[in-house]
Amino acid sequence: MQDPIVVVGSGATGVHFAETALEMGRRVVMLDVGYPKPPMVMPDASLNRMKAELADPVAYFLGERFESLLLPGDKSEYYGFPPSKAYVFKKLPGYSLESRGFAPLLSFAAGGLAQAWTGGSYPFNDGELEAFPFGWRELEPFYVEVAERIGISGDTDDLTAFLPMHPGVQGPLSLSEHAARLLSDYGRKRATVNQRGFYLGRSRIATLSRDHRGRKACSYLGRCLWGCPTQSLYTPSVTLEHCRRHPNFEYLPGVRVDHFSYDDANRVRSVSATQIDGGRAVEREIGTLVLAAGALPSARILLESLSRAGAARELPGLMDNRQVMMPFVNLKQVGRPFEDRSYQYHELAIGVPGAAPIDYVHGLVTTLTTALVHPIVQTLPVGARTALALFRNIHSALGLVNVNFADHRRDSNRLALEPASNGRPSKLLVHYEPEPGEPERMRVMLARFRKFLLGLGCVAPKGMTRSRPMGASVHYAGTLPMLENGEDFTTDPVGRCRPFENLIFADGSTFPALPAKNLTFTLMANATRIARGALAR
Amino acid sequence: MTIEVTPRAEPNALTAARGRELEGEHRRLSRHLVGVDPTPYQTAKYVDFHRVNPIGPRGRFDALLFGLSGWGGVGLILADAYSGTLFRDSLVRIKLTLCLAILECSPPSFVLVDRPGRGGRFVYFTMMARVLVAALALTAAALLLAPLHAFYAVTRRVGD
């Protein structure tokens, strides 16, 4: 694989591929739309201090035009993305997409979607990697390498059976009172709960419990949802900045890659892009092209390239994790004051093994005590004043389990491209159908979750459990699966896209299966593995 | 610390009368929710919302319910109770939610929103008492308003 290595996308996979390539002495050019992160406001202040001291706190928390305000009638989520993270989901003008059965979220931010992630860093075990052309033993060194780069905290506990422990994990963060109580209650009832197939333990999260590589440990400012001001919670922009300091790295933001051109020998020659401001065409010769823009945008670039070469096709096998939000109230926490200075994202996780390792169901337990309360208060079926009075007593008792289900590749779920015509740009078409029997399987599993929570003294009202629309988890994968031996438009074990000689996919496109765990840590490890493997040849 | 009040000149400028109307409305809603008057900053933000997001009643019943809330006191209690259970997308509920959102984001009221209610060891009893009072208010509101709501729905003049 020759230089220059042109990487498209600055998300979790792009930056770790680039970092690895730079460590190997290669020359890397990164093309990126790269909407920048806004400057951090009051970086040392806790959330409540911000409320007290900002000149315009309503604009900060709700938006200049109240775009983060959730009003009655908006039944989609229990919390909206704050204005400080609006740049992550800022739309790219002219980027056209049509979906059926799927509500995709795309990011064109510098750092990508993981700029708004919750830090879950759960390694896949051997059973979950069964469909992959490698197992835990081959992937572990790259989990370790990424853990060293980003910093992960966690603990050895009952979840270790499902989350293999690896070197490079710092000790766990301090638990909030609520999370500590849940864990303690679980400890007392462990035998019974485990017999029912449920296991509770500490989350593995990319948040520092100790200072690491120039970043400070979490100081519990309570601002996780609003954007960690101290970079204790890792985001890919940290690695992007690290790459940008390297003399062999050239970062070109403000550029949208449209397609690549290749010759009769299936060698990619150049990549064509458009400047976001001004629309000027940009053409770059490439030695090796690495698509790491996320499964949907990367697929679009490939489909556009094939279409222009008269070789249009569809890409089957799109996967995403189904997610269900299950709010609950811990009856033992009712009336307690809530802690604004605590870690806000999932402190605990739930593991529910299935008949096969891939059937494992993963739950993330979040307390979100500093999330805005108005979206939750309005869900109570009483007047606003009564709802607020009740809520003030249950605020510290509230929790949310985000239940994640695995997905499998199915030919019915596919990506295609509607070519440009009559002055209209081309359009990515997304088609997704859930697996037959999914509603019943989910119903049974969610009933088990409610029973598990009840065993810990937590009530999860059935009417408040919500399935997120398909696509909401943003764990898109599977359109160019890694196979030892495969046909054209699959990838080999180091991400090279057949039949091309010098085209690599480093993102979730390459996953042949999608376990229930948050996949970002595995994406980063796999991108690192792909870089070391593909560039060594 | 001084909070700047920054009303903006927006294309959808409100008349002075409308601004005063919104100020009075906001004061009523804030007292109803947390028992205190809003600050000038908070009221400015409430008015700002209406400049950039013009909202109004969707139908005659919605307008009637909102008008009832404008009486303050018992009227607002009944309108809130009814909209919380039986008419959840109503204008009065939208405005109460907006008011709450502003209260929870800004001083000094965010402290009130965060603080657990009185009750201590008897928190469940105080919550139960709250629910009973709310049930009474809902019953009264339903007796008064449900027939009108049904009438407007039947005559297709209800906006929901």
**Quick one: what percent of chain A has pLDDT higher than 90?**
89
Nearest partner of A352 among A436, A462, A448, judged by Cα? A448
pLDDT band for position A76 (50/70/90)?
low
Segment A476-483 shows an average pLDDT of 97
Q: Is B45 on the interface with A (CB under 8 A)?
A: yes
Judged by CB atoms closer than 8 Å, whether chains meet at B85 and A384 is answered as: no
pLDDT at residue B4 in the model: 34
Q: How far apart are CA A288 and CA A293, in angstroms?
A: 15
Q: Is B93 on the interface with A (CB under 8 A)?
A: yes
pLDDT band for position A74 (50/70/90)?
low
Q: Which residue has the higher pLDDT, B155 or A239?
A: A239
Q: What are phi and psi of A51, to 5 degrees?
A: -60, -40
Residues of B in Cβ contact (< 8 Å) with A387: 84
Q: How far apart are CA A479 and CA A68, in angstroms?
A: 33
- pLDDT(A355) > 90: yes
pLDDT at residue A130 in the model: 96
pLDDT band for position A79 (50/70/90)?
low
- pLDDT(A280) > 80: yes
What DSSP element (H or E) covers A423?
none
What DSSP element (H or E) covers A260?
strand A255-262
* Residue A408 C-alpha from the chain's centroid: 18
Which among B1, B105, B117 has the least Cβ separation from residue A392?
Answer: B117
pLDDT at residue B7 in the model: 41
Suggest the residue from B96, B118, B122, B133 to mutate for an interface test with chain A (most A CBs closer than 10 A): B96
Please say whether the beta carbons of A4 and A56 come within 8 A.
Answer: no
Residues of A in Cβ contact (< 8 Å) with B84: 380-384, 386-387
pLDDT at residue A285 in the model: 94
What does pLDDT average to over chain A? 94
pLDDT at residue A161 in the model: 95
Judged by CB atoms closer than 8 Å, whether chains meet at A386 and B93 is answered as: no
pLDDT at residue A433 in the model: 94
Residues of B in Cβ contact (< 8 Å) with A340: 114
Judged by CB atoms closer than 8 Å, whether chains meet at B104 and A389 is answered as: no
Nearest partner of B18 among B38, B57, B42, B48, judged by Cα? B48
Q: How far apart are CA A311 and CA A125, in angstroms?
A: 38
- pLDDT(A365) > 60: yes
Judged by CB atoms closer than 8 Å, whether chains meet at B113 and A388 is answered as: yes
Judged by CB atoms closer than 8 Å, whether chains meet at B97 and A62 is answered as: no
pLDDT at residue B156 in the model: 66
Nearest partner of A123 among A150, A151, A143, judged by Cα? A143
Judged by CB atoms closer than 8 Å, whether chains meet at B4 and A69 is answered as: no
The string of DSSP codes covering A431-476 is E--PPTTHHHHHHHHHHHHHHHHHHTTEE--GGG-EEPPTTTT---
The per-residue pLDDT for range A94-134, each reduced to its tens digit, is 899 999 999 999 999 999 999 999 999 999 999 999 999 99
Integer Rg of chain A from CA? 23
CA distances (Å), origin A256, targets A94, A293, A505: 10, 11, 17
Which among A65, A337, A372 has the least Cβ separation from residue B116?
Answer: A337
The per-residue pLDDT for range A500-529, each reduced to its tens digit, is 999 999 999 999 999 999 999 999 999 999
pLDDT at residue A534 in the model: 95
Which among B77, B89, B116 has the least Cβ separation from residue A72?
Answer: B89
Which among B53, B94, B130 has the least Cβ separation from residue A390?
Answer: B130
Which among A48, A386, A392 has the least Cβ separation from residue B134?
Answer: A386
User: For A396, which residue in chain B has the nearest alpha carbon?
Assistant: B116
What's the pTM? Answer: 0.92
Give helix then strand counts, H and E, for chain A.
12, 21
Q: How many CB atoms lie within 10 A of CB A258?
A: 18
Segment A260-280 shows an average pLDDT of 95
Q: Is B83 on the interface with A (CB under 8 A)?
A: yes
Q: What is the pLDDT along chain B (160 residues), one digit of tens a residue?
A: 333 333 444 445 778 899 999 999 999 999 999 999 999 999 999 999 999 888 999 999 999 999 999 998 999 999 999 999 999 999 999 999 999 999 999 999 999 998 887 767 788 899 999 999 999 999 999 999 999 999 988 886 544 4
pLDDT at residue B5 in the model: 37
Judged by CB atoms closer than 8 Å, whether chains meet at A389 and B88 is answered as: no
The per-residue pLDDT for range A132-177, each reduced to its tens digit, is 999 999 999 999 999 999 999 999 999 999 999 999 999 999 999 9
The per-residue pLDDT for range A9-67, each reduced to its tens digit, is 999 999 999 999 999 999 999 999 999 999 999 999 999 999 999 999 999 999 999 98
Judged by CB atoms closer than 8 Å, whether chains meet at A58 and B134 is answered as: no
Segment A458-467 shows an average pLDDT of 93
The string of DSSP codes covering B110-130 is HHHHHSPPTTGGGHHHHHHHH
pLDDT at residue A337 in the model: 87
- pLDDT(A379) > 80: yes
- In angstroms, the separation between the Cα of residue B115 and the nearest Cα of chain A is 6
A251 SS3 class: strand
Q: How far apart are CA B45 and CA A353, in angstroms?
A: 50
CA angle A334, A340, A345 (to 5 degrees): 90
